Structure 1
Amino acid sequence: MTLKSVWMGCSALCGLMMTAHALAACEKPFLAGDFGYSVCKDWPAYPGLTITAFSQFESGYSASDYGPQGKYDLNLAVVSAGNSKPLATYHKAAAFESDAIAFEDLQLDTARYQLTPDLRAFGVRVTFNGSSRVNPVNEKLLSLYVKEGDRLRPVLEKLITYEYGGEWDGNCAGELYQHTRTLEIGKTSSHGYADLIVKTVTSHEVGKGEGEACESRTLTAKPVLTTLRYDGKNYVVPQGFKGI
């Protein structure tokens, strides 16, 4: 058995032992090399309930300045005040992959995602960021979850709410783009769940020339509205709107 396999085995075992307590207490779990994210937030729609989330490095290829390059799991829970046992949980192995485009942040979103008169979702937002200056990449994803008994279920997965990228020479010449998406609850419904209205605003920045002769201009397109409909299991996300 190699030193690496011993390290990974200990990491997995220790992480498993700490998971339940960390979820309930909203504490940062054991993270090998401190690579991972942990966050908690009160759920205003349900006084006395708290949402917790953490993502821990599972396995990968190599370590870098941005953390291990590889896969991260996702653990969610809803807990009540003064009770160490989660009321509902969710776990997904290999939920995210971090490589040249690094997994950089995990946040909870408790906006008013009222999907039915009796059911409100909460959001999980993640951020990925590339390391290249001349080929920049930045992406933010939103997933929505609902509580069903003792489990949490994803109903919207990895909607790209922000995307920035392109190619330029690092000084002036090149083209960069930006997509910004906001989400609203629609007045219509599909399979009992409210339709989601996505507003996309796209802009392009074009640069030409060098030094003082550099000329750049930004063009912003008219906002585009897209309706996401629930198919009985999930909201259907159009091609180009969903992250990996």
Structure 2
Amino acid sequence: MTVKLGWIGCVALSGGLMAGTVFADCAPEPVTGSLDFSVCKVWPAYPGLTLSAVSTFEPDPVYGKNDRVGSYDLSLAVLSTGRSEPIATYRQPTAFMSDAFALSAVDLDTARYRLTPELRAFGVRANFKGSSRVNPMEETWLTLYVKEGDKLRPVLDRLVVSDFGGEWDGNCAGERAGTVRTLEIGQTRSHGYADLIVKSVTTGLVGEGEPQTCELKTTTGKPVLTTLRYDGKSYVLPAGFKGV
């Protein structure tokens, strides 16, 4: 099974824990700040369960008064139809830092991340974007969580599933490149969890000439396969694979 990985990350909390009656109908928790994120999604792997994620922006006390400089807390919950309280939760203070490279979107990923015959994970995707047009930067992280009793636990932390960057003149000339990673559930296991096969494909773009006569050349590298193994606590990521 191959799961196409787009962008994601993370959501935050707007005060207290989410109300299960709200999320039973998959209505996102209200947030108060314009930079906050809130999302919910039915979990197809487990009928009757809904996932929610809320991420609240906390401005930096010195540099964040008039800008997007600060951090995001993250609060996750699993809710069951007909119950008023979450059946499992997770909270991470300062889950994301945000500055010129700012958190721009959050989503829940309910692809079939079957890590054991009985256990499926879900994902949170966080997308970050830079503010410069001529030095573009964009990155998406994926974190996978499993439910253990009344708690949620991250088992894959901030895998960079897509990135894009480079330098150009805003018209034509310059170089940009991006990498997209797809994830496949492997047939082998480590410490009881399925190994994850990551396929990375890098595409480059080179522009030459004036805007009226711009020539663009695209190159696509050969796919590179990397196996991620569970060490008993989490999947180990090689250098360059983890968002920071």
Which TM-score applies when normalising by structure 1? Answer: 0.88
Which ranges in structure 2 are unaligned for 5 or more consecutive residues? 1-12
RMSD: 1.7
Structure 1 match to 2:80: 80
Structure 2 match to 1:242: 242
- Secondary structure class of the residue paired with 2:33: helix
Paired residue for 1:25, among 22, 34, 38? 22
Letter in 1 for 2:22: A
User: How far off its partner does 1:19 sit?
Assistant: 2.6
Structure 2 match to 1:137: 137
Contact 1:32/1:57 (<8 A) preserved: no
Q: Measure the CA separation in 2 of the matches of 1:201 and 1:109.
A: 21
Q: Measure the CA separation in 1 of the matches of 2:121 and 2:28.
A: 24
Q: Measure the CA separation in 2 of the matches of 1:68 and 1:214.
A: 35
Q: Measure the CA separation in 2 of the matches of 1:111 and 1:77.
A: 17
Letter in 1 for 2:18: A
- Secondary structure class of the residue paired with 1:34: coil
Distance 1:224 1:24, change over 3 A: farther
User: How far off its partner does 1:171 sit?
Assistant: 1.1
Contact 1:208/1:215 (<8 A) preserved: yes
Structure 2 match to 1:109: 109
Q: Measure the CA separation in 2 of the matches of 1:210 and 1:24.
A: 58
Superposed, which structure 2 residues align to 1:198-237 within 5 Å?
198-237=198-237
Structure 2 match to 1:185: 185
Letter in 1 for 2:205: E
Q: Measure the CA separation in 2 of the matches of 1:111 and 1:140.
A: 16
User: How far off its partner does 1:84 sit?
Assistant: 1.3
Deviation sequence 1:111-158 (CA, Å, 0-9, x none): 100000111000001110111110001111110000001100000011
User: How far off its partner does 1:98 sit?
Assistant: 1.1
User: How far off its partner does 1:82 sit?
Assistant: 1.3
Q: Measure the CA separation in 2 of the matches of 1:24 and 1:35.
A: 25
Structure 2 match to 1:10: none
> Does residue 51 in structure 1 map to residue 48 in structure 2?
no
Deviation sequence 1:192-240 (CA, Å, 0-9, x none): 1000011111011112222334322011001111100001100001111
- Secondary structure class of the residue paired with 1:25: helix
> Does residue 62 in structure 1 map to residue 59 in structure 2?
no
Q: Measure the CA separation in 2 of the matches of 1:185 and 1:36.
A: 33
Which ranges in structure 1 are unaligned for 5 or more consecutive residues? 1-13
Contact 1:19/1:29 (<8 A) preserved: no
- Secondary structure class of the residue paired with 2:37: strand
Structure 1 match to 2:34: 34
Aligned-residue identity in percent? 59
- Secondary structure class of the residue paired with 1:126: strand
Contact 1:177/1:204 (<8 A) preserved: yes
Higher-Rg structure is 1
Q: Measure the CA separation in 2 of the matches of 1:236 and 1:24.
A: 37
User: How far off its partner does 1:101 sit?
Assistant: 1.0
User: How far off its partner does 1:28 sit?
Assistant: 4.5
User: How far off its partner does 1:24 sit?
Assistant: 5.5
Q: Measure the CA separation in 2 of the matches of 1:24 and 1:183.
A: 34
